[in-house]
Amino acid sequence: MSDINGKQTKVSTVKHQLNRKQPMNRRGFLSSLATITTVIGSEIVFARFMPAGFIPVAFAQTLTPFVIPGKDSGLVVLNDRPINAETPAHLLNDEVTPADKLFVRNNGIPPQKIDIENWTLTIAGESVEQSKTYTLAELKQRFTHYTYQLTLECGGNGRSEFSPSAKGNQWTNGAVGCPKWTGIRLADVLKDVGLKEDAVYIGYYGKDTHLSGDPNKDPISRGVPINKALENESLIAWAMNDQDLPAMNGYPLRLVFGGWPASTSGKWLDKIVIRNQVHDGAKMVGTAYRVPCKTVAPGAKVADEDMCIIHAMPVKSLVTYPKSGELHPLTNKLDVNGHAWAGDKQVAKVEVSIDFGQTWQPAKLTKAVNRNAWQHWHSTLLFPQKGYYEVWAKATDSDGKSQPMVLPGWNPKGYLNNACHRIAVQVV
């Protein structure tokens, strides 16, 4: 591992030379191969297929800044106000994501004092028959409990790969997870209060506070169309993996909408409004969690009215074993595995490549344990010679849509990057 991850000064130099913000033509890229090979320590097998301007993922190893209470020390902190941290892919190998390994995406400051005995949830809005307020104890007593494994992914996961770059947390690929969630169906609560015929959207409010400290400002207040809210898997949850929600993931109450941007799954939940229009809370308008309705050129300016709200997340996969930078004997086969998910759809197949996408071999794929849960895949690889390789994974959903090998269409906010995940392997 140290052969790939060491030599920090040379790595920094190569990163600077190949910075995506400074596009390089094919000749320039090839002229840097000698330097790249020196830093990696061996020949890049299939280098002739490597896209121009790509930085080998062997250079992507980073140091962990500091630890978030209740979270694994391996999480990489991207921001401390508000706290945002992602999970390196190799720490996401569990079929059910452990609570301490689920990413953190905060928009404001979590509540400092929580009075669990007096925590309430209010259902209101212009399209509700009767506004009601429930205590947490009443929610648990009055409604049937359900447990689902549901995939949550930040809409900006993968933002760091876009060029031109987009503002916001520069997530790589670790803002995703699939724990078990326990709570009650949102649909059951909405039935209890009664929905008017004009109900089209729900919006949430939580007890986190705006970074400015202004109590009149909401850090975030998003929502989903009523049809998503009424799905069986849409939960008001209080537990993750049979334990109380972690403090950074919404304790004591939150929404969970698997397969949609995690920003729709409001944390520290204390109010839900039923709307007769698309919810217009904080980070629901303008360009927030929206992409251009039509394809645009990289770097283009897009008017707010030409941006469409993100609904279900696109098909995507992750290589979770081995860790990027694996040193592997030539004579041995390499077991590779990971997860794949596809928003509201199923994953139909996963394929892997060791030659930069020139050829693909099918992986074994399991069925999801329930709707909106990720699926697990496994493959066994054999390498033709010693040298540097990248293992790429590509998933295809039940509608036949596949991950792009490099990058999807550019958008101003850097959302929905579902490019193939890749890891470095050094065959010795």
Beta strands 361-362 and 316-321 are: unpaired
Maximum C-alpha span of the chain: 70
Q: What is the CATH architecture assignment of 101-285?
A: Alpha-Beta Complex (3.90)
* pLDDT bucket at 11, cuts 50 / 70 / 90: very low
Confidence of residue 300 (pLDDT cuts 50, 70, 90): very high
pLDDT of residue 32: 60
Q: Please give the radius of gyration of the chain, using alpha carbons only, rounded to the nearest integer.
A: 22
Q: Which amino acid is at 79?
A: N
Assign 81 a pLDDT band (cuts: 50, 70, 90): confident
Q: Around Cβ 159, how many Cβ atoms within 10 Å?
A: 24
Instruction: Report the pLDDT value the prediction gives residue 47, as an integer from 0 to 100.
Output: 83
| pLDDT the model gives residue 21 | 38
CATH architecture label of 1-61+312-428: Sandwich (2.60)
Ordered by start, the domain boundaries in the chain are: 1-61+312-428, 101-285
Reduce the secondary structure of the chain to three states and give it as a string.
CHHHHCCHHHHHHHHHHCCCCCCCCHHHHHHCHHHHHHHHCCCECCHHHCCCCCCCHHHHCCCCCCCCCCCCCCCEEEEECCEEEECCHHHHCCCCCCHHHCCEECCCECCCCCCHHHCEEEEECCCECCCEEEEHHHHHHHCCEEEEECCEECCCCCHHHCCCCCCCCCCCCCCEECCEEEEEEHHHHHHHHCECCCCCEEEEEECCECCCCCCCCCCCCCEEEHHHHCCCCCEEEEEECCEECCHHHCCCCEEECCCCEHHHCCCCEEEEEEECCCCCCCCCCCCCCEEECCCCCCCCCCCHHHEEECCCCCCEEEEEECCCCEEECCCCCEEEEEEEECCCCCEEEEEEECCCCCCCEECEECCCCCCCCCEEEEEEECCCCCEEEEEEEEEEECCCCECCCCCCCCCCCCCCCCCCEEEEEEEC
Between 303 and 39, the more confident residue is 303
Can you tell me the distance from the alpha carbon of 354 to that of 90, in angstroms, rounded to the nearest whole number? 18
213: left (phi over 0), alpha (psi -120 to 50) or beta: left
Residue 16 pLDDT class (50, 70, 90 cuts)? very low
| pLDDT tens digits along 196-208 | 999 999 999 999 9
State pLDDT tens for residues 315-336: 999 999 999 999 999 999 999 9
User: What's the whole-number average pLDDT of the chain?
Assistant: 91
Listed range (54-58, 74-78, 393-397) with the worst mean pLDDT: 54-58
Share of the chain above pLDDT 90, in %: 82
CA 245 from chain centre, in angstroms, equals: 19
pLDDT band at 41 (very low <50, low <70, confident <90, very high): confident
The pTM of this model reads 0.86
Residue 63 confidence (pLDDT) above 70? no
Has residue 22 got a pLDDT over 50?
no
In this prediction, residue 2 has a pLDDT band, given cuts at 50, 70 and 90, of very low
Which residue would you say has higher pLDDT here, 65 or 313?
313
Confidence of residue 286 (pLDDT cuts 50, 70, 90): very high
Q: Which of 28-32, 56-60, 157-161, 234-238 has the lowest mean pLDDT?
A: 28-32
The stretch 84-94 carries a mean pLDDT of: 97
Range name among 8-17, 172-181, 405-414 with the lowest pLDDT average: 8-17
Rounded Cα distance between 202 and 271, Å, is 10
Residue 397 has pLDDT above 50, yes or no: yes
Q: What is the mean pLDDT of residues 365-383?
A: 98
**What pLDDT is attached to residue 76?**
94
Each residue's pLDDT tens digit, 256-271: 999 999 999 999 999 9
**Across 127-145, average pLDDT:** 98
C-alpha to C-alpha distance for 79 and 223, rounded to whole angstroms: 24
